[in-house]
Structure formats: C-alpha cells, structure tokens
Amino acid sequence: MENKLPKLIVILGPTASGKTELAIKLAKKFNGELINADSRQIYKEMDIGTAKPSKKERKIIAHHLIDIIFPNEEFNVAIYKKIVLKIIKNIQKRKKIPFLVGGTGLYIRAIVDNIEFPKVSPQKGLRKKLEKKSVKELFEIYKKLDPKGAKFIEKENKRRLIRAIEVCKVTGKSFWRQRKKGKPIFDVLQIGIKLTKKELKKRISKRIKKMFKLGLEKEAKYLIKKYGWISSLQTIGYQEWSEYFDKKIDKKIDKKEVKEKIKLHTSQFAKRQMTWFKRDKRIYWIKNYQEAEKLIKKFLPI
C-alpha cells in the first residue's frame, strides 16, 4: 500500500562527511530545496567555524535555515521544529522536494518522528548560575540527572546541556524520556553517508586546514570580542581558542596546538554522531552519489 504522506528526504552523516555536496547534487537532480539540520549553522557570523555552505553553493540551490539568528539569541529544538514544518509546507506547495540536511541528530529526529518536547519555560535564575560553569561541569551535572540522555547529548554543546538540565530540574524527570513520538507527518527516506574511519579522519583534517586558511582565528577573535564566552561559542572550532587569546595565562598554547585540539574534538564528536545514527535502523547507508540516486528514484513517485 502506497504511503500518502508528503515526501521528505534526509541526508545525514557525521561532520565533514560531505553531506552538503551530495545534497546539492541530489536536489538539482530531483527538483529539491535544502533545509539545514545543523544546530550551529543557524547562527549569523559563525561562518568558518561551523563550515557553512559557501555563497556559491547557496546560489546553486536554495538553502533554508542558515543565518537566521545572532549567536546571543535564544533558540532550541522546539523552535527549530516549528520553523522547519512551515518551510517544508512552503516547499511542497511549490511542487518541490524538501531535503533535510545535517548532522544534528536531535533536530533530525524532531522532524522525522514528529517529536513532542516538554514545555518548560526558561528559568532565568538557574540559567545564570549554569552559564558560569564550564562545559565539562555541566555535562557532569546532567549525567547525574539523566544518565541515559548523557550517552547521546552533544558534550560540547553548552546551550543544549543547560536546556537539558533545566528541563530535568523543573520536571524532576529525565529530559530524554520526556520526548514523545507524535503521529507520522511525512513519508521519510533517510540516507546516511558511510565512510571508513580513515576516510573520515582525512576529510576532518582537510576541513580544519581549510578553516584556518579561510581565517578561523580572525573569526573566533571577532566573535569572542563582540559576544564574550556565550554558550553558542563554547563549541568546537571556537572554544579551543580560549587559552590562545587569554592574556592572563603565562604559558599560552600556540596555533598548532589549537588546530590539534579542534581535530581531536571534531573526531570525538563525529564518533558520537555515528553512535546516535546507528541506533536508527531506518537509515540507508550509501557510499556514493549513484547509490543515493537509486534510492530516491525508488522512493519518489514516477
């Protein structure tokens, strides 16, 4: 029996796996538009450190949900879901295919499984206290409150950790267990990019080299000076510069050490992303464009 729900294609995978490049080719072929599913590419000014699609790439095919808010503005997965559903509806109205593209597992699941999130309003007092703590300290707090959730949350994402702690403290329940699946709203094809550890390591190294060449140091310095160490900047690509820029520290680390830290943290993050994605048996893992094209041809109506 044919599924009558609107079609949605998801292109996912770990960081630096080539999702954008693949998605652009597929969207061109199948008359689609791209919707960002990377929790950091929503922020304006955070360009190099989040490896946003270039202006050239964004001209080739329409990209949605990139550069929508400033780094110091409030944003969460519930807001993301609300905006994405409107965008998908608009794309489908124009008889085009929506492609959800990214590596933020929670954002993808929010759409694919129509997840309903606990309605907990921001606790300003609690947030103020938590903002003063390091990412490592926040993770330890969250781990005690929600051991299961701690296995899958982005350890370096300060904003996500604060929100998870906030929900746990207010409700007295696990943040992870409070997320409920809703009724399916899309017929979804999830395509994951499969790479060997060696290939991914090479791609990560190449990406970071490119970031430094494009001016990551200058971007990080500008953002930290403008906003301070806000939670959105306490993430990979930015947080590693803290010692480098800190004038109070006598033995500062050099640029090479910053680069190595970013490489290490990116590799660790990619591993956690794959742990998340491997739990979803509905994902079709592909090695090249041809395999993805074949899956989509079978999925879309003739």
Q: What is the mean pLDDT of residues 66-95?
A: 96
Give the mean model confidence (pLDDT) for residues 273-282: 95
**CATH for 198-268, among 1.10.287, 3.30.70, 1.20.120, 1.10.10?**
1.10.287
Alpha-carbon gap, residue 239 to 222, rounded angstroms: 13
Closest CA to 76 of 107, 115, 50, 112: 107
Q: Which residues contact 143 (CB under 8 A, 6 or more apart)?
A: 150
Instruction: Name the 3-class secondary structure at 299.
Output: helix
Cα 60 to Cα 31, 101, 204, distances in angstroms: 12, 15, 24
Q: Which CATH class is domain 120-178?
A: mainly alpha
Instruction: Classify residue 38 by burial, with Cβ atoms within 10 Å: 0-12, 13-18, 19+.
Output: buried
Q: Which pLDDT tens digit goes with each residue over 234-268? A: 899 999 998 898 866 666 789 999 999 999 999 99
Token pair belonging to 201? 């390591």
Cβ pair 277, 12 in contact under 8 A = yes
Maximum Cα interatomic distance, the chain, rounded to a whole number of Å: 69
Query: How does pLDDT run across 121-177, given as a tens digit for each residue?
Result: 888 899 989 988 988 899 999 999 999 888 878 787 888 899 899 999 998 888 877
Instruction: Give yes or no for residue 185 having a pLDDT over 80.
Output: yes
Domain ranges, ordered by start, for the chain = 120-178, 198-268
Minimum mean pLDDT range among 118-122, 140-144, 202-206, 266-270? 118-122
The whole-number pLDDT of residue 117 equals 81
